[in-house]
Chain A
Amino acid sequence: MSDASVLETDVAIVGAGPAGIAAAVAARAEGARTLLLDSAPRPGGQIWRHRDPAQLPASGRRWIERLSGSGAEWIHSANAIDLPAPGVLIAEREGRAFTIRWRSLVIATGATERLLPFPGWTLPNVFGVGGLQALLKAGASVAARRVIVAGSGPLLLPVASSLAAAGATIRLVAEQAPALRVYRFAGALWSDPVRLAQAARYRAGFRRARYRCGTWIVRVDPVGSALSVTLTDGRRIWTDRTDLVAVGYGLVPDVRLARLAGCSIASGCVAVDRSQRTSVPSVFCAGEPTGIAGADSAVAQGRLAGAAAAGARRTGGAASRARRFAARLDRAFALRPDLRALPDPATIVCRCEDVSLGEIGEGWSARQIKLYTRAGMGPCQGRVCQPALEFLRRTGADAVRLPLFPAPVGLLADHANRDEGDS
């Protein structure tokens, strides 16, 4: 990236996961000047996060090669923090701000993991499923460690499989959804051979471990340097010993940038048309923010969004397929109400501000919870506790405010300076 503090482009893309990468390649294929930025040091997003491209699956490697040959400008380690006016994006990198002037914007910000609180979830060696996977990709060793993977959703399988491949012993994969619903969902994958093959491959990765549906973690307690995990299937309660726990309750679309842009949101997802256009002129969206539907869908949506953002007339069914898939996923892996009863009054809900569930009154709104208890007021601004509270207390989402990511005071002072007059 150049040192200039103002960059001009036709298509600006935020998020370099499968959706953003495909969008960049497609926009370049239409001849548009294209700029792709991500908080991470390398392109790939969640699923294609890597240190060395050789670690990547073939499709990921191919897409990343296409991106580097595409002529799109790639800006790494940069957070999109503000959209002060149509056509203007402010990003922060290493404490400095720069302005990107765009004709079209593609929002490809992916999803975040939903963590639900239960007694012991904040102990050392208890990780988010995605968090542990990210540590693994960053080079952490799990060789010969016992792991229990638990929670919900299709993410449990690939993570268990990659942990097993890295030498961990998978004690159990506990899926909270009932077997019937999970197998009905898997059965429907027959119509989707790519996904089915993927699932089979993941399952093969930890063949000796048990994949148990209708099972969930009740609590985790430390025993020396190991962990004692209490599990239940709703009838029986038992304990198991392990070194690590990886637990995650599905993914939540990251719609914060889209909300800052003013895009309409329906049921937590950004609403898009057959060209991935949002309700805001010249703003497109692709991948998980439109609904949790996996990497292939993200790629398909990204291609449409990139081409359309570059001015090509391109439409397709990727977004509506994704919506249907996301709805099936939601039904199959709907969180059981029992999970609401796991945290006790002393269980921490917001780690940044040390707020326990007992401090939160019944029937409070998201804003009320935050103002009365400080839950969600810390550096992560509710990224972790809000999705949990949405489930536990059926609250709505909190407002999105500047800056989208923490940024130096001096940077906010200056970026506003440059755009004096805009407001």
Chain B
Amino acid sequence: MSRPDAIVVGGGIVGAACARELAMAGLGVTLVEAEFVGGGATAAGMGHIVVMDDSPPQFGLTALSRALLDELAPALPAAVERDRCGTLWVAEDEDQLVAARLKAAAYGDAKVEASVVDGAELPRLEPGLRPGLAGGLLVPGDGVVYPPALARWLAEDARRLGAAIREGEPVTALDGRSVMTARGRIDAALVVNAAGAAAPILTHGLPIVPRRGHLVITDRHPGFCRHQVLELGYLKSAHSSTGASVAFNVQPRMTGQVLIGSSRELVGWNRTPNRALLGRMLRRAADFMPALAGLSAIRSWIGFRPATPDNLPLIGPSSRIDGLWIAAGHEGLGITTALGTARLLGDLILGRAPSLDPVPFTPDRSGEPAAAVHA
């Protein structure tokens, strides 16, 4: 096999998107994945494609990424289950409704369509919401995908563009010029560490930890809800003193199923479900949508978000290791931000004018923790 220009380590949605971006630019790319494409955090994520404005860089990255997905949409197969269902952020009280108005204005300034919904209009949009809510914010351009299928399509597209996709091959060591696997050594001009929450295992010192989340999926109940519906006030509940938090977050799947989130806790890679937290998460959901309690739950699972201290991903060159690039740490937004990440990384690698200000994403920044998190 000929020597690739770039090796991407990790075939999650981020690595798959990066491999495709570099292959589109004409580079010879080899993607090396320990198991199979899309089987990591990507397989556990909800797949909400959402513009978020907890910080200006996050807003820029999510808006760019969503626009890139819109461009791709006609090419995507049905298995990606892309549904432009919109996000409905629910305000419980007047304070939150004021926050919704401010958000709507900020979204409008950035040409992202968003509108404030009053309390009387809510039941028309989502009849399942409990009465008495103050209103909300509707972001119609947001949507939903089925993450493993999108990751798989991105990797397949990279393959069509000439990339080699090597699955079932764990990388044991890497630097900026080569990676080691059980099958031997691969050399290249540059290496991208896109191993998600496992990225620090391969590149010591990266500030990424797994932040665990639970999800529950129901049987098919078509029409139960029409938008991805979340609480605007989740910031309040997201930072409880116990360190574990839950938020109301439900999603209609194209199959008619309802996916219910979300929880966050820092428990390392522990895979035993936290039933108490799961219960709290479901009670929070049923508090907003009482009829959820009667739906039939068929399965629950957990996933590990690759979390950074300031909740922004690490995208760019390592300052310590020549030839090494990082694209990891996407916490609860990596399904959304994979395409924007790949675009920005490609800009930086190829010396194109960056699509976004890269500074806030610099891998070796010493970031101040920002407040916001998402599903």
B-contacting residues, A383-423, CB 8 Å: 401-403, 406-410, 412-417, 419-423
Provide the bound-state CA to CA distance between A196 and B255, in Å: 50
Q: Return the contact of A406 from the options B274, B285, B296 (Cβ within 8 A).
A: B296
B284's closest neighbor in chain A, by CB?
A: A413
Contact A368 B36 (CB under 8 A): yes
A-contacting residues, B91-140, CB 8 Å: none
B146's closest neighbor in chain A, by CB?
A: A374
Contacts of B375 in A (CB 8 A): none
B297's closest neighbor in chain A, by CB?
A: A409
Contact B297 A412 (CB under 8 A): yes
Binds A, one of B298-306, B319-327, B334-342: B298-306
Q: Is there a chain A Cβ closer than 8 Å to B272's Cβ? A: yes
Q: Is there a chain B Cβ closer than 8 Å to A365's Cβ? A: yes
Min Cβ gap A357→B in Å is: 16
Q: Which of B38, B216, B279 has its CB near the most chain A CB atoms (within 10 A)?
A: B279
Interface string of B279-296 (1 = CB under 8 A from A): 110110110000011111
Contact B293 A423 (CB under 8 A): no
Q: Is there a chain A Cβ closer than 8 Å to B273's Cβ? A: yes
Question: Given A421-B276, A423-B272, is A406 in contact with B298 using a C-beta cutoff of 8 Å?
Answer: yes
**Interface residue ranges, A against B (CB under 8 Å):** 82, 84, 95, 364-365, 367-368, 371-372, 374, 377-379, 381, 401-403, 406-410, 412-417, 419-423
Contact B296 A420 (CB under 8 A): no
Provide the bound-state CA to CA distance between A415 and B282, in Å: 11
Question: Given A368-B39, A371-B39, A371-B148, is A412 in contact with B296 using a C-beta cutoff of 8 Å?
Answer: no
Contacts of A84 in B (CB 8 A): 275
Min Cβ gap A386→B in Å is: 14
Contacts of B300 in A (CB 8 A): 401-403, 412
Contact B36 A364 (CB under 8 A): yes
Q: Return the contact of B279 from the options A364, A374, A416 (Cβ within 8 A).
A: A416
| Tally of chain B residues near chain A (CB < 8 A) | 37
Min Cβ gap A88→B in Å is: 10
Q: Is there a chain A Cβ closer than 8 Å to B235's Cβ? A: no
**Interface residue ranges, B against A (CB under 8 Å):** 35-36, 38-39, 43, 79, 148-149, 152, 216, 218-219, 255, 260, 272-280, 282-283, 285-286, 292-301
Min Cβ gap A401→B in Å is: 5
Contact B273 A409 (CB under 8 A): no
Min Cβ gap A98→B in Å is: 15
Min Cβ gap B78→A in Å is: 12
Contact A379 B298 (CB under 8 A): yes
Contacts of B282 in A (CB 8 A): 409-410, 412-413, 416
B287's closest neighbor in chain A, by CB?
A: A413
Contact A371 B297 (CB under 8 A): no
Contacts of B273 in A (CB 8 A): 402, 423
Contact B297 A403 (CB under 8 A): yes
Contacts of A413 in B (CB 8 A): 279, 282-283, 286, 293
Other A-B pairs beyond A407-B296, A410-B294, A416-B276, 8, CB < 8 Å: A372-B79, A409-B292, A409-B293, A409-B297, A416-B275, A416-B279, A417-B279, A423-B277
Provide the bound-state CA to CA distance between A367 and B43, in Å: 10
Contact A408 B294 (CB under 8 A): yes
Provide the bound-state CA to CA distance between A381 and B297, in Å: 11
Contact B275 A423 (CB under 8 A): yes
Provide the bound-state CA to CA distance between A82 and B296, in Å: 15
Contacts of A368 in B (CB 8 A): 35-36, 39
Question: Given A368-B39, A412-B278, is A401 in contact with B148 using a C-beta cutoff of 8 Å?
Answer: no
Question: Given A371-B38, A401-B300, is A410 in contact with B286 using a C-beta cutoff of 8 Å?
Answer: yes
Contacts of A364 in B (CB 8 A): 36
Contact A409 B294 (CB under 8 A): yes
Contact B39 A422 (CB under 8 A): no
Min Cβ gap B2→A in Å is: 25
Contact B279 A412 (CB under 8 A): yes
Contact A412 B216 (CB under 8 A): yes
Can you show 7 pairs from A to B with CB atoms below 8 A apart?
A367-B43, A368-B35, A402-B278, A403-B300, A409-B282, A420-B276, A423-B276
Contact B276 A409 (CB under 8 A): no
Provide the bound-state CA to CA distance between A414 and B286, in Å: 11
Contacts of A419 in B (CB 8 A): 275-276
Question: Given A372-B149, A409-B286, is A416 in contact with B278 using a C-beta cutoff of 8 Å?
Answer: yes
Min Cβ gap A77→B in Å is: 16
Question: Given A372-B148, A379-B298, A403-B300, is A415 in contact with B279 using a C-beta cutoff of 8 Å?
Answer: yes
A85's closest neighbor in chain B, by CB?
A: B275
Contact A423 B279 (CB under 8 A): no
Min Cβ gap A326→B in Å is: 30
Provide the bound-state CA to CA distance between A414 and B276, in Å: 9
Contact A408 B39 (CB under 8 A): no
Contact A372 B152 (CB under 8 A): yes
Contact A381 B279 (CB under 8 A): no
Question: Given A416-B275, A423-B272, is A408 in contact with B297 using a C-beta cutoff of 8 Å?
Answer: yes
Provide the bound-state CA to CA distance between A379 and B152, in Å: 25
Provide the bound-state CA to CA distance between A371 and B216, in Å: 16
B217's closest neighbor in chain A, by CB?
A: A377
Q: Return the contact of B274 from the options A372, A379, A410, A423 (Cβ within 8 A).
A: A423
5 closest residue pairs by CB, A with B: A416-B279, A410-B293, A413-B282, A416-B275, A423-B274
Min Cβ gap B156→A in Å is: 11
Contacts of B301 in A (CB 8 A): 401
Contacts of A422 in B (CB 8 A): 275-276
B302's closest neighbor in chain A, by CB?
A: A401
Contacts of B285 in A (CB 8 A): 409
Provide the bound-state CA to CA distance between A314 and B297, in Å: 41
Provide the bound-state CA to CA distance between A387 and B310, in Å: 46
Contacts of B218 in A (CB 8 A): 409
A419's closest neighbor in chain B, by CB?
A: B275
Provide the bound-state CA to CA distance between A423 and B218, in Å: 22
A400's closest neighbor in chain B, by CB?
A: B299
A373's closest neighbor in chain B, by CB?
A: B79
Contacts of B36 in A (CB 8 A): 364-365, 368
A371's closest neighbor in chain B, by CB?
A: B148
Provide the bound-state CA to CA distance between A326 and B219, in Å: 36
Contacts of A420 in B (CB 8 A): 276, 279
Provide the bound-state CA to CA distance between A14 and B286, in Å: 30
